[in-house]
Amino acid sequence: MKSTIIKIIGPCLLLALLMLALNKGNAQPAITLPASHQSLAEGVLLGSDRDLKAGVPPSHNFDLLDWSLTLPTDLNKDNKADMIYEKPLSEGFELSPLFYTAEDGGMVFACPNEGAKTSKNTKYARTELREMLRRGNRSMKTQGITGNNWVFSGAHGSVKRQAGAVEGSLEATLAVNRVSTTGDIKKVGRVIIGQIHATDDEPIRLYYRKLPDNEKGSVYFAHEVNGGDDIWINLIGSRSHTLADPFDGIALDEKFSYKISVESNVLHVTLIRQNKPNITRSLDMSESGYFKNNQYMYFKAGVYNQNNSGEPRDYVQATFYYLNNIH
């Protein structure tokens, strides 16, 4: 009887040890937080020592030569959202009540639920900056693998040589002043405040959402697999349209900071609130399809209204106090 048990247990034990070894060999390595995020001071907003001036255009307080601006207007009647390119934007452009300097010196972005859109494939309107690494050099094309855009470090060497940069970070400090309050409950209160846009998809869309009956809002992001589905990751609260007041959420007009980075093909997102622990989430994008030779990236910041229903004059608004793109 004893020898029979040993004969049965022996092969089972060997099989278990073999499976353990195989699983260990296939285990994903832990993601190490890069120094650029580890070094962020706990509970200290980014750019908090900046001296912003009121009564001047946004470009007097912010370097906007690295950006173009999309507006929810169609003043030239071409059936597309108006675009303000780097040089006019950096030389004093403002358009109240959509884009202007607040009384405290912050850069205000506002966008109604209904407005001109960038293309027929876009559902929502925006008042949003688009990164332009060419800094006014119109000889460089806006789209494509050019000096105007950046790529992942996993891209082919020839692609990296053509691009304006390899990977990078976006830092911002802002307060969301208003979110939409009317229309489809599944869309109410949503606004995108930062993005990485790729050729067609978005490696990250960073959301703030506050529901009408809640005092505070959630912050979360979506990672869109190239040609695939979204992966949703919560920082505070969730994207649910039935969520009760999120624990430790962020109220309207409350300042907070974010840092979005791509380093060694990994996405890192850190949320910073005054005198509170920082929150960081990381995501390995090595299987997300952004290494392909046709994939280029650029940062976006501002307000991308995620509600196209409700009262046409309903709107979202955010004020930025610090904005920095790093490559």
* Pairing between β-strand 216-224 and β-strand 250-251 as defined by DSSP bridges: antiparallel
77: its two tokens: 């009647």
Q: What residue has token string 């919560």?
A: 234
The matching CATH number, chosen from 3.90.1150.10, 3.40.50.410, 2.60.40.1180, 2.60.120.200, for 36-326 is 2.60.120.200
For residue 61, how many other CB atoms are within 10 A of its CB? 21
Contact status, residue 221 vs residue 204, Cβ threshold 8 Å: yes
Record the tokens describing residue 96, joined without a space. Answer: 């109240």
Q: What is the rounded CA–CA span in Å between residue 46 and residue 79?
A: 38
Q: Which pLDDT does position 31 carry in this prediction?
A: 87
Per-residue pLDDT of the chain (327 residues; tens, 9 = 90+): 444 444 444 555 544 544 544 444 444 567 889 999 999 999 999 999 899 999 999 999 999 999 999 999 999 999 999 999 999 999 999 999 999 999 999 999 999 999 999 987 789 999 999 999 999 999 999 999 999 999 999 999 999 999 999 999 999 999 999 999 999 999 999 999 999 999 999 999 999 999 999 999 999 999 999 999 999 999 999 999 998 999 899 999 999 999 999 999 999 999 999 999 999 999 999 999 999 999 999 999 999 999 999 998 999 999 999 999 999
Please give the DSSP secondary-structure letter assigned to residue 21.
H
Long-range CB contacts for residues 313-316, cutoff 8 Å, separation at least 24: 313/112, 313/113, 314/112, 314/113, 314/180, 314/181, 314/182, 314/183, 315/110, 315/111, 315/112, 315/113, 315/178, 315/180, 316/110, 316/111, 316/176, 316/178, 316/179, 316/180, 316/191
Which two tokens mark 153?
């470090």
Backbone dihedral region for residue 188 (phi beyond 0: left; psi -120 to 50: alpha; all else: beta): beta
The predicted structure's pLDDT at residue 27:
45
pLDDT of residue 119: 86
DSSP 8-state assignment for residue 138: T
Instruction: Return the pLDDT at 9.
Output: 43
Neighbouring residues of 95: CB distance < 8 A, sequence distance ≥ 6: 71, 73
